[in-house]
Chains A and B, each alone.
Chain A
Amino acid sequence: MKNQNRLVAAVSTPAILIGLVLVVALIGAYGDVTTARVATLALVSVVFVVGLSVFSGNSGVMSFGHVAFMAAGAYTTAYLTIPVPLKKSLFSDLPGWLSWLADVHTSFPVALLAGAVVAGVVGLVTAPVVARLSGLQSGIATLAMLMVTYNVLNSWTEVTRGSSSMIGIPRGTTAWWAFAVAALAVVVAWGYRCSRGGLQLRASREDFWAAEAAGIAVGRHRAIAWVISAMLCGVAGALYAGYLTSFNVNGFFLAATFSFVVMIVLGGYLSLSGAVVGALAVSALQEVLRRFQDGQFTGGSALPAGVADLIVAGVLLVVLVKAPYGLMGVRELRLPGSRRRAAEPAPEAEREPAHAG
């Protein structure tokens, strides 16, 4: 009975979250074209924000550089799935040592995996820096990583097409693919969170020095979470590329970073439920505001461009002031009655702290 309750407690949160993304996937699969697009991209955002939360939620260190991992996944997918003839004309100036790239071609699922792997490699390379930094330094360092990535992608024209859009990617992402990956991301993130590494990293989030004093290798656990997180964000990038079929380097810069930060902060970065709820809620809000700005609710008179972004920023400010840890705080969505505590014997009422051993 006790074990059964513990099991229910352990799977209750991911089950609810997967249920939530399933609802969104159904909207994506059966809604009209616009709704389907919004729903599918919302699921891509879920994958990204869940990935980000594996690092930020458990370590307490905010990252402004994760969009670089998304870019790694998107460019990998472009290279692996654009039909070879088109690729040869798009990348006629590839440097000799990269010319093999013009001839590779894989299926979309393989590209998804490759996107995760490439982003994971970028994560591995940058992990030693992240492992050593906290707070403001870490925020600046991750932002620097984003800048470096953006500038490389924007300037290395022969390989990345620079500021020209990447085009001709076959549509691989469906609502169901996005759902499957989002569900997997939730399972991976929850599994990590509950793992021995995840628990130690969360302890360090609460008090770095006390964690070190307890023998916890904070840097190593940060690095592990960083790489897992990078891989999930890489898959998000692959899904993104495989859905839009074309993308531009500017899609992986500050606007995207801000949008994802709003999602995780609004939902609550300490909680996995917060990541999922935040991604879905902000996606919906952005769509409503977009329609509002286009005049759909005001009889056709369009509002000035930027009004939607202004309102999103305003909502973020209000949330930061009213609920600094977002809508969810440290809470997770759980099935009623499945709190761990239910598995424990009822506490003796008003029992005094007994120090005796």
Chain B
Amino acid sequence: MTATDLNPTRRSSVLRMAGGGIHFDGVKAVDGVTIEVRSGEVLGLIGPNGSGKTSTLNLLSGMLKASAGSISIDDQDITRLSMRQRARRGVVRTFQSGRVFGRLTVWENVEAAALGGGLRRPAARALTAEIIEELGLEPVAHDLAQQLTAGRVRTAAIARALATGPRFLLLDEPAAGQNESEAVELITAIRGFAQRRDCGVLLVEHDMSVVMGTCDRLHVLDSGRTVVEGEPATVRSDPRVIEIYFGKRH
């Protein structure tokens, strides 16, 4: 893979989980969920706490092994591939807590991921410089990641994911802890970045107002099952969504 592979001349593709399920101690965390992320779009995965959002992301990324269903990229089955093998095929995730490499510098965090994505050294360095500049991380590029503020940790985690060369970027609450306008700003930036690279984004988020303006489609989960999927405006006016999302909680 070379740096040019990250540029948007690829044909569009689809990351798909069909009837995916997993249970923990008999409790079905995800139960027959079918979900598709298409390149170039931002899909919001929303639902109340405990609805199975992060488990779905874990299934797609390979952190968890599905006990039912299959996962594929286009026609290629990736159900049995490890998280690392999926990352090499462009399915790249972030973690809710960031999980940056604490005692490496921000630059090293990003470069390690670029190398992990399969780039040679010079290409990895060039990509690292590009991403660090694009996400405004230059001032802290040579600070240890463990010294960063919470906001910068989130940005560094996203920078690292971008460096791996994602075709599908799975973001677990990337804006957690930020206020609504900061969250929208961050997600808009991710959106622009992903579209320039023709990358599909799955955005796990529990705050409905954040995803309304930033996502192309929304997929709503409740108790591990799909409630509805569609355009944000349609989803918001769906009575079932109002019931579980607004009705009970407000």
Contact = CB atoms under 8 A, between A and B. Distances in A.
A328 to B, nearest CB: 12
B104 A213 contact: no
Interface stretch (A68-76, A136-144, A180-188, A344-352): A344-352
Given A351-B139, A355-B185, A356-B189, A214 B117 contact: yes
A217 B84 contact: yes
Contact of A353 (B61, B121, B152, B164): B152
A286 to B, nearest CB: 30
B92 A206 contact: no
Contacts of A348: 139
A200 B120 CA distance: 12
Contacts of A148: none
Interface residues of B, number: 55
Contacts of A207: 99-102
Contact of A216 (B95, B103, B115, B186): B115
Interface in A324-347: 330, 339-341, 344-345, 347
A209 B149 contact: no
Nearest to B102: A206
Contacts of A355: 135-136, 155, 182, 185-186, 189
Tell me what chain A mostly uses at the interface: helix, strand, loop, or mixed. Answer: loop
Contact of A357 (B105, B152, B165, B189): B189
B111 A199 contact: yes
B118 to A, nearest CB: 7
A105 to B, nearest CB: 43
A322 interface: no
A354 interface: yes
Tell me what chain B mostly uses at the interface: helix, strand, loop, or mixed. Answer: helix
Interface in B184-218: 185-186, 188-190, 192-193
Contacts of B112: 199-200, 202-203, 211, 214, 216
A343 to B, nearest CB: 9
Contact of B113 (A215, A217, A347, A353): A215
Nearest to A217: B84
Contacts of B139: 347-348, 351
Contacts of A351: 136, 139
B134 A357 contact: yes
Chain A, interface residues (CB within 8 Å), range = 20 to 34
Interface in A227-278: 270
A218 B163 CA distance: 17
Given A202-B112, A344-B142, A196 B92 contact: no
Contacts of A354: 135-136
B116 A357 contact: no
A353 B151 contact: yes
A214 B166 CA distance: 10
B130 to A, nearest CB: 10
Interface string B80-117: 00111001100011010001111111001101110111
B160 interface: yes
A56 B53 CA distance: 37
Nearest to B170: A213
Nearest to B178: A355
A190 B112 CA distance: 17
Nearest to B119: A196
Contacts of B117: 214-215
Interface of B: 61, 63, 82-84, 87-88, 92-93, 95, 99-105, 108-109, 111-113, 115-118, 120-121, 124, 134-136, 138-142, 144, 149, 151-152, 155, 160-161, 163-165, 182, 185-186, 188-190, 192-193
Given A207-B100, A215-B116, A356-B189, 7 more contacts: A214-B117, A215-B84, A339-B142, A345-B138, A355-B135, A355-B155, A356-B185
26 contacts: A196-B121, A199-B115, A202-B108, A203-B104, A203-B108, A205-B103, A206-B101, A207-B100, A209-B63, A210-B99, A211-B101, A211-B112, A213-B61, A213-B84, A214-B92, A214-B113, A214-B160, A214-B164, A215-B84, A215-B118, A216-B116, A330-B103, A347-B140, A355-B135, A356-B136, A357-B192
Interface of A: 196, 199-200, 202-203, 205-207, 209-218, 270, 330, 339-341, 344-345, 347-348, 351, 353-357
